[in-house]
C-alpha cells in the first residue's frame, strides 16, 4: 500500500491542484475543509505528504535511538529488527520511485516516436541516447540520426523538420533487437570513428564526431548485449535443470513451476506484462508467454487431453508422432503382403505383368502410336 501511495503521489497532487484551479465548487469545498480545526490550518496537500515522510522519519528516529541505547538494553534486539523493517520499506519506496522515473522516460520516448513502437515494459530500461551520423549504403550521404539504446532494443531515428504538440519529434528509421545484434569495427578509409550495426536482415554504418564518443557507444552496446546474454543464459540453465528427458515429455506429469515466481518467459526471455500473459507448459512445467505456447498436444497423464505446451515440447511431441505413422504403415504393409491370398495374387500376376514406376503422364498405346505417326509426317 505504501509503495502504491508513493507511486501515485505526484499524479494525485497534480489532479487536486488542477481541479482546484478550474472547478469553483471543488475549491469552495476544499477551503471549508482546510478551515476545520482537525486540519490544523494545513492544506490537504500537506497532509498527503505526511505519509510519504513518515517512513524516512521512522528510520532516522530509530537510528538515533539505537545510538543512545545501551548495548545491554533489552530493547536493542527489537529496535534493530524494527530499524531493519523500516529501512527495507524505505528502500522499497525509493526503488519504486526510480522505476516510476524509468517508466516516465520510456513513455516520453514512445510519445516522441508517435507510438509507432511499444516501449513500455517492466524490465526495459533506457541505457543511452544521443546523436550519431549514418552513412547511406546506396548514395554515401551522411545522415543525422538520434539513437535510443534500451536494454533489449536499439532504435535509429531521424528528427522531424516540423514538430509541434500533435506530431511526434522523431521518425523511426530502423530497429535492432539486441539479442540478434552484431557490432563490427568500421573499415571506412575516408571517415573516422565508424562502426557497423548488423542483424540477420540489415546493416547500418554509423560514426561519431570523436574517438571518445565512439568508445562510449561501443562500450554501452557491448554491455547491453552481454547483460541480455547473461539473463537468457540463466533462464536456459534453469530450464535445462527442470526439463524432463524427451522420452518422458507428454507421458509423465512434470513439476509445474509457480506462475507468480517467474517474471520472464522461459522460452523467449521476454518479460511478462498486462499484454504478455503467462502460462504453464503442461509437458515440461516451465512458465511461458502466450506467443510461445500457442499450440496444444495430447498428454498421456491427462487421458490424452489436448493441453497447452511450449514450442520446444511441441516440436518434440510432433516429431515423435510423425515417426509413428510410418512405422505403422510399414507394419500394415508387411502384414498385408504376408497374407496367403495376397501372396497367391502376387505370384500369379508377376508372371504376366512387368512392374515399372508410374510416370508423370500415362498415355495408352493407341494414342502413343498415333502421336508417332503424326510426328513422322511433320518431320
The predicted pLDDT at position 365 comes to 45
Domain presence at residue 171: yes
Please determine, for residue 287, whether its predicted confidence score (pLDDT) is greater than 70.
yes
Please determine, for residue 139, whether its predicted confidence score (pLDDT) is greater than 70.
yes
Of 110, 131, 159, which closes a domain? 110
What is d(CA 122, CA 111) in angstroms, rounded to the nearest whole number?
A: 17
What is d(CA 241, CA 253) in angstroms, rounded to the nearest whole number?
A: 16
Same domain, 135 and 104: no
- Angular region, 294: left φ>0, alpha ψ -120 to 50, beta rest: alpha
What is d(CA 379, CA 374) in angstroms, rounded to the nearest whole number?
A: 9
The predicted pLDDT at position 220 comes to 93
Domain presence at residue 299: yes
Please determine, for residue 124, whether its predicted confidence score (pLDDT) is greater than 60.
yes
Domain presence at residue 326: no
Domain presence at residue 165: yes
Q: DSSP letters of 177-202?
A: EGGG-EEEE---SSSSSEEEEE-SS-
The predicted pLDDT at position 360 comes to 40
- Strands 153-159 and 287-289 come out as unpaired
3-state secondary structure labels for all residues of 265-320: CCCCCCECCCCCCEEECCCCCCEEECHHHCEEEEEHHHCCEEEEECHHHHHHHHHH
Q: How many CA atoms lie within 13 A of 52 on its CB side?
A: 17
Same domain, 140 and 65: no
Same domain, 105 and 121: no
Same domain, 102 and 168: no
Average pLDDT (254-270) is: 79
Same domain, 209 and 130: yes
- Strands 182-185 and 170-177 come out as unpaired
Same domain, 197 and 282: no
Average pLDDT (180-194) is: 90
Helix 340-349 with 311-337: angle, nearest 10 deg: 70
Of 183, 211, 233, which closes a domain? 233
Domain presence at residue 192: yes
Q: What is the pLDDT of residues 205-249, one digit of tens each?
A: 999 999 999 999 999 999 998 888 777 666 555 555 556 777 778
DSSP annotation of 137: T
Domain presence at residue 53: yes
Same domain, 228 and 260: no
Domain presence at residue 152: yes
Q: What is the CATH number of the domain that holds 281?
A: 3.30.40.10
Helices (H) and strands (E) in the chain, counts: 8, 11
The predicted pLDDT at position 75 comes to 92
The predicted pLDDT at position 110 comes to 87
Percent of the chain at pLDDT above 70? Answer: 79
Same domain, 272 and 200: no
Same domain, 86 and 151: no
Distances 325 to 280, 318, 320 between C-alpha atoms, Å: 29, 12, 10
Please determine, for residue 333, whether its predicted confidence score (pLDDT) is greater than 80.
no
* H or E stretch covering 132: strand 126-135
Burial of 284 (0-12, 13-18, 19+ CB in 10 A): buried
Of 110, 125, 158, which closes a domain? 110
Same domain, 251 and 193: no
What is d(CA 155, CA 225) in angstroms, rounded to the nearest whole number?
A: 15
Please determine, for residue 133, whether its predicted confidence score (pLDDT) is greater than 70.
yes
Q: What is the CATH number of the domain that holds 137?
A: 2.30.29.30
Q: Which SS3 state, helix, strand or coil, does residue 216 take?
A: helix
Number of domains in the chain: 3
Average pLDDT (180-204) is: 90
Extract the C-alpha cell encoding 285: 512445467
DSSP annotation of 248: T
More confidently predicted of 26 and 324: 26
Same domain, 95 and 138: no
pTM over 0.75, yes/no: no
- How many CB atoms sit inside 10 A of residue 285's CB? 19
| Angle subtended at Cα 182 by Cα 216 and Cα 264, rounded to the nearest 5 degrees | 90
Q: Which SS3 state, helix, strand or coil, does residue 79 take?
A: helix
The four Cα atoms 26, 31, 37, 40 give a dihedral, to 10 degrees, of 100
Domain presence at residue 50: yes
Same domain, 85 and 55: yes
pLDDT band at residue 345 using 50, 70 and 90 as cut-offs: very low
Extract the C-alpha cell encoding 176: 535492432
Average pLDDT (180-189) is: 89
Extract the C-alpha cell encoding 49: 505528504
Q: DSSP letters of 250-264?
A: TTS--PPPPGGG--B
What is d(CA 153, CA 273) in angstroms, rounded to the nearest whole number?
A: 17
The predicted pLDDT at position 161 comes to 75
- Range of the structural domain that residue 83 is part of: 2-110
What is d(CA 364, CA 344) in angstroms, rounded to the nearest whole number?
A: 28
Amino acid at each position: 500500500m505504501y509503495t502504491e501511495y508513493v507511486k501515485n503521489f505526484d499524479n494525485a497532487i497534480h489532479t487536486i491542484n488542477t481541479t482546484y484551479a478550474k472547478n469553483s465548487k471543488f475549491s469552495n469545498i476544499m477551503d471549508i475543509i482546510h478551515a476545520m480545526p482537525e486540519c490544523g490550518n494545513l492544506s490537504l496537500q500537506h497532509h498527503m505528504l505526511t505519509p510519504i515522510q513518515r517512513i524516512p522519519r521512522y528510520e532516522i528516529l530509530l537510528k538515533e535511538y539505537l545510538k543512545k541505547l545501551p548495548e545491554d538494553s533489552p530493547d536493542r534486539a527489537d529496535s534493530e529488527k524494527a530499524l531493519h523493517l523500516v529501512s527495507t520499506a524505505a528502500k522499497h519506496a525509493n526503488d519504486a520511485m526510480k522505476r516510476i522515473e524509468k517508466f516516465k522516460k520510456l513513455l516520453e520516448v514512445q510519445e516522441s516516436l508517435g507510438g509507432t513502437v511499444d516501449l513500455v515494459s517492466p524490465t526495459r530500461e533506457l541505457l543511452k541516447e544521443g546523436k550519431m551520423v549514418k552513412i547511406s549504403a546506396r548514395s554515401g550521404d551522411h545522415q543525422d540520426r538520434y539513437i535510443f539504446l534500451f536494454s533489449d532494443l536499439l532504435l535509429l531515428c531521424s528528427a522531424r523538420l516540423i514538430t509541434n504538440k500533435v506530431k511526434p519529434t522523431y521518425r523511426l528509421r530502423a530497429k535492432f533487437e539486441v539479442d540478434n545484434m552484431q557490432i563490427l569495427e568500421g573499415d571506412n578509409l575516408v571517415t573516422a570513428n565508424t562502426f557497423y550495426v548488423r542483424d540477420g536482415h540489415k546493416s547500418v554504418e554509423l560514426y561519431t564526431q570523436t574517438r571518445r564518443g565512439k568508445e562510449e557507444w561501443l562500450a554501452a552496446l557491448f554491455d547491453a548485449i552481454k547483460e541480455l546474454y547473461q539473463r537468457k543464459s540463466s533462464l536456459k540453465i534453469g530450464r535445462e535443470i527442470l526439463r524432463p528427458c524427451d522420452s518422458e515429455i507428454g507421458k509423465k506429469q512434470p513439476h509445474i513451476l509457480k506462475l507468480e515466481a517467474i517474471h520472464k518467459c522461459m522460452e523467449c526471455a521476454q518479460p511478462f506484462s498486462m499484454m504478455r500473459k503467462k502460462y504453464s507448459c503442461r509437458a515440461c512445467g516451465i512458465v511461458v508467454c502466450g506467443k510461445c505456447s500457442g499450440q496444444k498436444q495430447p498428454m498421456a497423464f491427462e487421458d490424452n487431453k489436448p493441453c497447452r505446451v511450449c514450442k520446444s515440447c511441441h516440436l518434440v511431441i510432433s516429431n515423435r508422432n510423425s515417426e509413428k505413422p510410418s512405422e505403422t504403415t510399414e507394419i500394415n504393409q508387411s502384414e498385408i503382403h504376408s497374407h496367403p491370398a495376397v501372396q497367391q495374387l502376387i505370384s500369379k500376376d508377376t508372371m504376366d505383368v512387368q512392374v515399372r514406376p508410374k510416370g508423370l503422364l500415362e498415355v495408352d498405346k493407341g494414342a502413343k502410336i498415333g502421336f508417332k505417326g503424326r510426328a513422322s509426317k511433320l518431320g
